[in-house]
Structure 1
């Protein structure tokens, strides 16, 4: 019988154990390194997500660094004006005509530019009277001759002018400027550019007056006739308000604005309904939506008037949110009186300034 060397067998077993231990060690080290690297990548990506207040200083720093760089010649008068008042390529814009000056509404609104120290503001004047008033009162203004489409005649001056804004915005976006569009029935308390996230194509104020209605919720639907399949779900949120939104300058937003300008030049339609249809209706069949990404502005920073008059003002003082950025009097018809009262409430320190006003438009509503 052949002899068996027990020492050789033990040596092979020892060698195998050594190799296994080495491989296990290398695997553990690799796993640890992978976790560390993954964590670093995750942290770096999180750090890249824009947050309010960060981007304004970043833009300012980049402008400072490139201050001595060659500046391209403006393509038209509008671009020359924008390069002067908003070199960081974003502007707070209001579209106004002489009707907004009759009871001092434009004056009340533009005081917000000064109160919140917003240098890159601009009024797009639709007539010479508005342009002259702005120039006399130290407001950045540019006049543009725009005709109201035949389809919008008879809808009322406010709606007709509002329908013009998408075509106006298109001119800004084509030049590469992002725009924070604001109606004139809005009180400005803080520089809004310090509270934008800038991570979406459109960042807009909502007509929703609580978290579920503003930010969205999954709702149930019940059809008993379906038996086993009677239950279904759908997503619900209130519309974005077309009187206060920030829009980036890119091909998707240019497509969105072009569609809206075209639709409202042909259809007698509320601009806010068209705005939300083009943003939220899903692509289907031969129809392809502009596919813009959307962020809803925080409801206690960019606040609508129902949120304020029906909820916030009735809370105990310690439960009220801090000073809002902008308040839009969109739910109430007595706009200027409420606008002035809101300014007294937040900027004037008058805790009773809102007391005379009902919650809704009718007396006695809370």
Structure 2
């Protein structure tokens, strides 16, 4: 019968237990270290994810060497001025030249900045005369030298200047500032930044004059020759107005503005038509839209002049909507006279201030 050394067996068992304990300890330590390291990496990554209003385009980032702005200050004079007047990275901007000072229209417009206490405003001046006037009247102003494209010559001063705004806006978007762009034929009654939703890339005023034309509707189409397939449906709404809209700073909006600037340099085209085509034309084939998201502003808060003169003013006073935020005289040619009358109607205490104006542009229209 073979002999058996009990002490040797016990020794082997003890050795195995020790080895298992050591391995288990190393495994536990490694697991803990892995969790700690992973958590730190996750937290660090989370920490550098920018908030929505801090997002800037990849193109802008490529133009920005490293963290130059944070380490060395503003990248240019425009950014330095923006940091001073609009540190929250939102700006109410109007583009103006000396023609807007005729008959004091620029003054009527800029009184709205003061009335609504919009401190983060700027007039982007295209000439020194406008700069001087703004400085004398306490208006934030920045001079930018721009050249009207050859394609826009002969379209009239207003249209030619309007076509410049997309290239001008691109400068602000590249720096990371969201902009509420406003034409100067607008009366400002309340701070518009208190009424923005900021949930879309572009948030703008509609040329629509009621809920269906502004917000959209499903319409029917009938082709009897198609028999049982004669009926079809489509979506319809009026264009957005390119004279009043809020635009965020991100890749999509930068691409939108770049496309518009490029088109209007090459084409003799109405800026508002180009603006709506680039926003709403659907991607198809080799064409890809900028894919910006869109919100239509409330038509009684950001009101166009057709809505006001053809509808709202005819309602009994107690059935009219509350004080609007902004009123744009976009539908009528006698802009300044109507603009002054709208101010008198809403805050001047004159409930008959609008009575003498026809509903349309023709006398006698209601």
TM-score interval, smaller chain: 0.7 to 0.9
CA, structure 1 residues 71+352, in 2 after alignment: closer, same or farther (shift >3 Å)? farther
Query: Residue 177 of structure 2 corresponds to which residue in structure 1?
Result: 177
Where in structure 2 are the equivalents of 1:206-217 lying within 5 Å?
206-217=206-217
Q: Find the residue that maps to 1:356 and give its secondary structure.
A: coil
* Cα separation, 2, equivalents of 1:221 and 1:244: 32
Query: Residue 358 of structure 2 corresponds to which residue in structure 1?
Result: 358
Query: Residue 291 of structure 2 corresponds to which residue in structure 1?
Result: 291
Where in structure 2 are the equivalents of 1:1-366 lying within 5 Å?
73-366=73-366
Deviation of 1:349 after TM superposition, in Å, equals 1.3
1:219-255 CA deviation, whole Å, 9 max, x = no partner? Answer: 0000011111000000000000000000000000000
Structure ID, larger Rg? 2
* Cα separation, 2, equivalents of 1:255 and 1:347: 40
1:177-221 CA deviation, whole Å, 9 max, x = no partner? Answer: 000000000000000000000000000000000001000000000
1:38-97 CA deviation, whole Å, 9 max, x = no partner? Answer: xxxxxxxxxxxxxxxxx9xxxxxxxxxxxxxx7861000000000000000000000000
Stretches (4+) displaced over 3 A? none
CA, structure 1 residues 71+108, in 2 after alignment: closer, same or farther (shift >3 Å)? farther
Number of aligned residue pairs: 298
CA RMSD of aligned residues (A): 1.0
Q: Find the residue that maps to 1:246 and give its secondary structure.
A: strand
* Cα separation, 1, equivalents of 2:170 and 2:72: 21
Q: Find the residue that maps to 2:295 and give its secondary structure.
A: strand
* Cα separation, 1, equivalents of 2:344 and 2:71: 43
Q: Find the residue that maps to 1:170 and give its secondary structure.
A: helix
Q: Find the residue that maps to 2:288 and give its secondary structure.
A: coil
Deviation of 1:160 after TM superposition, in Å, equals 0.1
Q: Find the residue that maps to 1:103 and give its secondary structure.
A: helix
Q: Find the residue that maps to 1:102 and give its secondary structure.
A: helix
Deviation of 1:317 after TM superposition, in Å, equals 1.1
Q: Find the residue that maps to 1:243 and give its secondary structure.
A: strand
Deviation of 1:102 after TM superposition, in Å, equals 1.2
TM-score for both structures, normalised by structure 2: 0.81
* Cα separation, 2, equivalents of 1:296 and 1:305: 16
Q: Find the residue that maps to 2:285 and give its secondary structure.
A: coil
Q: Find the residue that maps to 2:103 and give its secondary structure.
A: coil
Q: Find the residue that maps to 1:135 and give its secondary structure.
A: helix
